[in-house]
Amino acid sequence: MTPVRAYPERPAGRHPGWPTSLRPLRVEAGLVGVRPVRLRDGAVWSAIRLRDERYLAPWEPTMPGSWLQRNAPAEWPGRWLQLRSAGRKGTTLPFGVTLDGRFVGHVMVGNILREPLLSAYVGYWVD
């Protein structure tokens, strides 16, 4: 007898929901969008995080190195590669938040666990 699965096996390779883009939403501040993070987001990502250290640092995990080292533009390519790889595996869904097309933050669905737990967390920061 073949066991019945609540969720079908996903094929090897890319996660079927990644990458994806959602339609933007118009709010009073402008057009807010969510899309996969991009390699070219690095300079703006770094500038925002370095400028907003006072607000972001209390919520970040304790890691080796200074805030400047961990959030320097040179750190983004490695971080981006890790996020992209996790997105393709379906264990993380990393998105850039945009306002009128400009990168302004990051939202991530992370630690995605499938059967039997079916759980994840959502973390975000916005400039």
pLDDT band with cut points at 50, 70 and 90 for residue 16: low
Which pLDDT band holds residue 9 (cuts at 50, 70, 90)? low
Query: pLDDT tens-digit profile of 73-98?
Result: 999 999 999 999 999 998 999 999 99
Would you say residue 78 lies in a domain?
yes
Mean pLDDT of 95-121: 93
Q: What is the mean pLDDT of residues 32-38?
A: 94
Q: Report the CATH number at residue 35.
A: 3.40.630.30
Range of the domain at 107: 23-126
Would the pTM of this model clear 0.85, i.e. be above it? Answer: no
Residues 6 or more apart whose CB falls under 8 angstroms from that of 5 comprise: 115
Burial environment of residue 121 by CB neighbours within 10 A (0 to 12, 13 to 18, 19 or more): exposed
Place of tokens 């490695």: 78
Tally of domains in the chain:
1
Quote the pLDDT of residue 66.
Answer: 95
At 60, is the secondary structure helix, strand, or coil? coil
Is-contact 106 45, C-beta < 8 A? Answer: yes
